[in-house]
Amino acid sequence: SAVISQKPSRDICQRGTSLTIQCQVDSQVTMMFWYRQQPGQSLTLIATANQGSEATYESGFVIDKFPISRPNLTFSTLTVSNMSPEDSSIYLCSVDRSSHGYTFGSGTRLTVV
């Protein structure tokens, strides 16, 4: 199954700043997915990233707040912009590996102070 390298694994950031999270997949994939997991909660889809086109965002998430890049079939970034304490969450990227299920990165644990 695919291996996803996600970084940083954790960060503590000041409010008002931005953080860019990177995900590198060890094989080419068409779609990459970005999720947020707030403390003690389930996973919520932020957006779907296709290579060569703009990401599509779920209700409640906007490009200005969570810009995504997808420059090639193995890499994507998610930026959390103008952070506030409410953005403190775990952010995960994911790809579909068919019979192996969806593989997730190890997550980025973000704390905004």
Partner 1 sequence: AQKVTQAQTEISVVEKEDVTLDCVYETRDTTYYLFWYKQPPSGELVFLIRRNSFDEQNEISGRYSWNFQKSTSSFNFTITASQVVDSAVYFCALSALNSNSGYALNFGKGTSLLVTP
Asked if 102 touches partner 1 (CB under 8 A), the answer is yes
Contact 23, 93 (CB under 8 A): yes
**N-terminal to C-terminal alpha carbon distance within the chain:** 37
The least distance separating partner 1 from the CB of residue 108, rounded to whole angstroms, comes to: 11
Of 78, 108, 77, the C-alpha closest to 92 is: 108
Q: How many residues does the chain have?
A: 113
Choice between 82 and 111, CB closer to partner 1: 111
Asked if 67 touches partner 1 (CB under 8 A), the answer is no
Site string for partner 1, 21-60 (x = CB under 8 A): ----------x-x-------xxxxx-xx-------x-x--
Asked if 88 touches partner 1 (CB under 8 A), the answer is no
Q: Which two tokens mark 11?
A: 């960060």
CA gap 88, 15 in Å, rounded:
10
Where do contacts with partner 1 occur on this chain (CB under 8 A)? 1, 31, 33, 41-45, 47-48, 56, 58, 90, 92, 94, 96, 99-104, 106-107, 109
